[in-house]
Amino acid sequence: MSHVSELIATDIEAYLAQHERKELLRLLTCGSVDDGKSTLIGRLLYDSKMIYEDQLAAIRSDSVRVGTTGTDFDPALLTDGLKAEREQGITIDVAYRYFSTAKRKFIIADTPGHEQYTRNMVTGASTCDLAIILIDARHGVLTQTKRHSFIASLLGIKHVIVAVNKMDLMEFDEEVFEGIKRDYAAFSAKLDIDDVRFIPMSALDGDNVVDRSERMPWYAGATLMHFLENIHIASDRNLIDLRFPVQYVNRPSADFRGFCGAVASGVVRKGDEVMVLPSRKKSRVERIVSFDGDMDEAFAPLSVTLTLEDEIDVSRGDMIVHPANVPQSSQRFDAMVVWMAEDPLAQGKQYRIKHASKSMFGSVSAIRYRMDVNTLHRLDASTLKLNEIGRCEISLNQAVAFDSYKRNRGTGSFVIIDRLTNGTVGAGMILDRSAGEGEGDHWDRAPASDLLRAEPAAVSADERAERYGQRPVTILLTGLTGSGKTTLARALERRLFEMGRACVVLDGQTLRLGINRDLGFSAVDRSENLRRGAEVAKLLNDAGLICICAFVAPSEEARRRAKEVVGADRFLVAHLSAPLEVCRGRDAAGLYAAADGDELANIPGVSFAYDEPEAADLVLATDSVPVDECVERLVAALHSRGLSGDVSYG
């Protein structure tokens, strides 16, 4: 089973050439604490004869002192090398082990099971082709099992082997295995994993690890080693989209100018027409240079140097692609972000973003939601803390060429670096909006066609003002649920109507019963609810009407964007500042009570923070100021802002 070959004794060069041509499989072990991840790797290496005698002697010595098996051989000690790991019997950091068989070479990443070390698990899984998820047969599918399965799915791992371990402690009961298999299959159906296999085993004793177990005759499947040697991964590579990020411009002499890098995906051949991004200049590949000489073609993940027939400007950070197959290019995109720092993510803070070979500055402009990886529920959030995962909008200071992570790992991933400490604080996987979940941010979305045009109005704004005796304005009443937005909006409508003004109320809740009935209450849906309301308010203002908007609008960023839609010169924000306790007391529908009991999510002030307006035109303490007085203050604000033009509001 090991890599021992007769060629070693007869033809060492032929053996080395054969070994070099073996396919490499990167895999990781993950799962909950004490499921036996390190033990499995130790047993795998031991049974495949991949442990040297001095290593084995050291492990036997340590097994007597700090082992957890009660025998003179604890396989887990082969990977748990840190002193703290051996003292506690747990894995803390990612441990890598390398071995080979006659068929393949392997790199195994042993990742921690504790929730607090989730970022270490993400690091280990980021380059893997396959994940072995261990489940303790005594405990079944646990929260951490689901967490690691979700992360494996998020990181694009296509092959998962579910190893139901410690079957010896359950008397090798087939029903136990089948029950766990059903539970995991029901959960994994929600994930994006193409290939799931199940194996019952005892890692400590070696049952179904390298050799088939005689104690589980009811299992007719293959052993773990057979799966590892034979599972098909060649088709997992993207050989369609040529992506060649330029890492270095090599200019050793006046006669040579080459562009060095690793082929992230696709195939490049001598004579191919290529395009350089972002300049979009075209040329043809003159040579493909490697350490071993010129090549006719190169593919992922080879590192080569390309020379072009034409002298065009190519710099580090540029990307070479085929002209007919170009990645997306934008300063904004959505991504799933794993936060890896003790300090929480700060929206709007400038970070350094490292994407492929390009480095730039950017920020997280919005957090769509935070993912509860234990339940797969989406939760509203204003930040991400250590080990949390959320969908974020990333804004960069320059355009970057990218693909979705699902299509291309190399050009669909990035890291977030703190500018002061230079430490990596986050990792991101870019999402494909066009094929995604259908709930992307619409604020910046372009119209469906470039041929659409807005026709000029036949009646001018001045003519409307003269007819109605007023200048149009939008007043946004924002505050917590129960702060009195709808009550005040209706009272202001009555006051303006009695003054002879033409006005209308847009209530966020009323819109949800009609044109916005497709929207929920997540951060993204609340933002879209306000966006649609702002577009309607703009149309009403263009028609010369006064528009009174009553929306919770908990996001300061969304309110700012609504102001841009309507127009800053005719947009007022009135913050209804009743405290949360007062709003709770006014809650006849019981929304706050339902949120406290986890029966209802996405309630501002309970589920997530409400962003108080930074520069409201008017702050109304509706817990102490009567409705009539609030109305008079709003009318006075309209008058003082001069929004009435030559016509007074009162």
pLDDT at position 589 is 77
Over residues 619-644, the mean pLDDT reads 87
Candidates 501, 477, 473; CA nearest to 489 is 477
pLDDT the model gives residue 200: 96
| Confidence at residue 45, expressed as pLDDT on a 0 to 100 scale | 78
pLDDT band at 83 (very low <50, low <70, confident <90, very high): very low
Provide the pLDDT for residue 259. Answer: 96
CA dihedral 576, 578, 580, 585 (to 10 degrees): -120
Q: Which residues contact 646 (CB under 8 A, 6 or more apart)?
A: none
Return the higher-pLDDT residue of 469 and 16: 469
**562 against 605, higher pLDDT:** 562
Alpha helices by DSSP H, listed for 362-473, are 461-468
Structure letter (DSSP) for residue 236: G
Rounded Cα distance between 629 and 290, Å, is: 79
- 368: tokens are 């769509």
Structure tokens, 420:
């002061």
28 touches 109 (CB < 8 A): yes
The H or E element spanning position 255 is none
Q: In the structure, what pLDDT confidence band is assigned to residue 60 with cuts at 50, 70 and 90?
A: low
Supply the pLDDT for residue 117: 63
Mean pLDDT of 65-81: 56
Is the CATH number 3.40.50.300 carried by domain 461-640?
Answer: yes
pLDDT of residue 564: 92
In DSSP terms, which residues pair with 109 in a beta bridge?
A: 28, 96
pLDDT of residue 436: 38
Query: Residue 74 above 80 pLDDT?
Result: no
Given a cut of 70, whether residue 80 has pLDDT beyond it is: no
- Residue 96 is predicted with a pLDDT of 78
Question: What per-residue confidence (pLDDT) applies to 72?
Answer: 52
- What is the arithmetic mean of pLDDT over 427-446? 65
Residue 444, pLDDT score: 66
Is the pLDDT assigned to residue 600 strictly greater than 70?
no
Tell me the mean pLDDT in the region 546-566: 92
Residues in the chain: 650
Q: Phi and psi for 126 in degrees, rounded to 5?
A: -65, -25
Q: What percent of the chain has pLDDT over 90?
A: 48
CA angle 570, 573, 579 (to 5 degrees): 170
* 244-321 and 330-430 in the same fold: yes
**C-alpha torsion sign, points 226, 228, 233, 234:** negative
Give CA angle at 93 (197, 151), nearest 5°: 40
The pLDDT confidence band at residue 99, using thresholds 50, 70 and 90, is: confident
Tell me the chain's radius of gyration from C-alpha atoms.
31
Helix axes 143-154, 118-125, angle to 10 degrees: 40
At residue 28, the pLDDT reads 87
pLDDT at position 116 is 63
Inter-CA distances, 148 with 39, 41, 187, 191, 563, Å:
18, 18, 12, 11, 42
**Dist. CA 135–CA 132, nearest whole Å:** 10
Domain ranges in the chain are: 7-236, 244-321, 330-430, 461-640
Give the separation between CA 489 and CA 469, rounded to whole angstroms: 21
CA angle 20, 320, 297 (to 5 degrees): 35
The amino acid at residue 123 is T
pLDDT digits (tens, 9 = 90+) for 241-266: 999 999 999 999 888 999 999 999 99
pLDDT range class, residue 13, cuts 50, 70, 90: confident
Amino acid identity for residue 280 in this structure: R
Surface-to-core class of residue 105, CB atoms within 10 Å of its CB (0-12 exposed, 13-18 middle, 19+ buried): middle
330-430 CATH choice from 2.40.70.10, 3.30.450.20, 3.40.50.300, 2.40.30.10: 2.40.30.10
| pLDDT in the model for residue 521 | 77
Predicted confidence band of residue 298 (pLDDT cuts 50, 70, 90): very high
Residue type, position 177, single letter = F
For residue 297, is pLDDT > 60?
A: yes
Q: Is the pLDDT of residue 533 over 50?
A: yes
Q: Give mean pLDDT, residues 165-173.
A: 94
Residue 56 pLDDT: 64
- Name the pTM for this structure: 0.63
Segment 552-574 shows an average pLDDT of: 92
157 against 438, higher pLDDT: 157
pLDDT score of 79 more than 60: no
Q: For residue 35, what pLDDT is reported?
A: 73
Q: What's the mean per-residue pLDDT of the chain? A: 84
| Residue 551 CA, distance from chain mean position | 29
Q: What pLDDT does 40 receive?
A: 84
Superfamily of the domain at 7-236: P-loop containing nucleotide triphosphate hydrolases (3.40.50.300)
* Average pLDDT over every residue of 298-316: 93
What is the rounded distance in angstroms from the CA atom of residue 44 to the CA atom of residue 42?
Answer: 5
Distances (CA, A) of 378 to 267, 372, 513, 600, 601: 39, 6, 23, 12, 9
- The type of residue at 142 is L
Homologous superfamily of the 244-321 domain (CATH): Translation factors (2.40.30.10)
Higher pLDDT, 91 or 634: 634
> Is the confidence at residue 419, as pLDDT, over 90?
yes
Other CB atoms within a 10 A radius of the CB of residue 549 amount to 30
Q: Which of 414, 440, 431, 430 is nearest to 361 (CA)?
A: 414
The per-residue pLDDT for range 365-398, each reduced to its tens digit, is 888 888 887 777 888 888 899 888 999 999 999 9
Query: In this structure, what are the phi and psi dihedrals at residue 505, rounded to the nearest 5 degrees?
Result: -105, 130
